[in-house]
Chains A and B, each alone.
Chain A
């Protein structure tokens, strides 16, 4: 596999020079959309941590997908792909430039855009909450365990997006979204089936005890259960809370490794697809 830092640098520069106007406009558009939604939630009095998280991660993942769709767009364009494919660079260099832009720089720039917008919306939110004698909401903490998981998940999603934009020549974005939905559905079905297999639907016979465990920090190496009460096989009530069952360190490590291995595997697929790409 060929790699040269010099060519990598040239390719990165080329990508920047040819797309800087697009990136500038994109950054402006993202700022506008973020401000609109965050201010909307602030005025609605609902700019708590969950809403901040939702705004951040939706923008990060979907916005990132849209951004990634531009990285290989010339390969799908019949007038541009000839020159693009014949540029003296290796598939590895091409993939690494896409990863640097889509997986590393995009989240940094997005975060840099997000926090000033959040700060502006937070002022509005704090004033409105103070009027109702409520304490101010905290800021979203990107260092929290669950946040780290979602940032890792974002790497996988963007790597998957890169694969999709190489796989599909026409209507790549629409097809990538459909592929993601299909994949998510498959995951949900497999996940539910596996859990049912692991934990058959039997009445709990032992005593249940609750204790605090920072399960989100162990990369979802836990399974959530809902407390449901039944009478004559009919659900009479359920508690809107989950009990997390820690699956143990080996499972947690496995899940953690999966988050790291998946993007790497997908990047490998990107290199192979670039290599076998024909006009």
Chain B
């Protein structure tokens, strides 16, 4: 809805009818010539064979975010994470020394899942001093060492020291817990995340502990949902009726343009304008938005966060224009930071070539009053109203892509991040295949 989008653009070039400036090359896409501009195939999203390659080439070779340190509030706190894409489950635990560690969730005796409640496939969390296998009572301390074997004397030359839990590489950045399922990561977590993402160091994620966690099973390839949330070209159309009166039609007429796009290695970011309270006339708002003082962009009354890191608003858009940054962290993790002082994360966990589990988490500075809590409730429900529309298109897309009636799809400049995602997936699979071929 902005009149003019200001800010630093690489070699500032063409300015669109709506006032958005593109790079000197004439488009965001051509600013990154390795992307090309040709139509792309979505074979990578409908091929069971390609998915099998992705499991090894991507999900066992990239750092994966599995949660936040606030999910492990005390020494002894743990949670399990199902990773169907790697056919494993892991347990993430804060040890008695305060360190966060991760292990494959398997008992070393006869392979039972070690930490679970009633249903083997359900995730769980809690707090303990040691892990006890419910099958034969083997015990492990929180460092993974085997500390007790039931009827140990019945075994043959068994040394408990040889039967510790199988560790998973685990590291923490900015409170986000990552694991790496490979034998030896080729990069440290920090090097993997790269300068664009780590420039968010210092953002007060740790203050934002009021959490709404949404989850859905989605009938599409994991990359299709990433695409759905990494372009906003769809927003004025698919979500047109979310806005009252003629505003939806006006927005559709204007279309969508981002303030800024950037790529950094396998990661990418998009920055868009926002909706400042007071910048939108009352007739463009719903009556409830005005009373609850909240909406899609979050509660209008912003928390005091102090100075924010330079990694925000990476395109340097004018402060009164900046609305959000959506950081797309390879392969399946998104951090979206909203100007009014809150953030959300998305995770897309593949369960087959055409299904995945979607996790959306909204994080706010904790409410101190019921009024604040209601503003957050309003933002969370608004998120769901939009998310339901986004989620429902995915199965429809998957179905028709699988028809293979069409195999070349044009992507416009506002879909640059979709183009990049599929290119990175292809590169990682190709690198894996080359290595395997020796």
- Say whether A and B bind each other: no
**B interface vs A, CB < 8 Å?**
none
**A interface vs B, CB < 8 Å?**
none
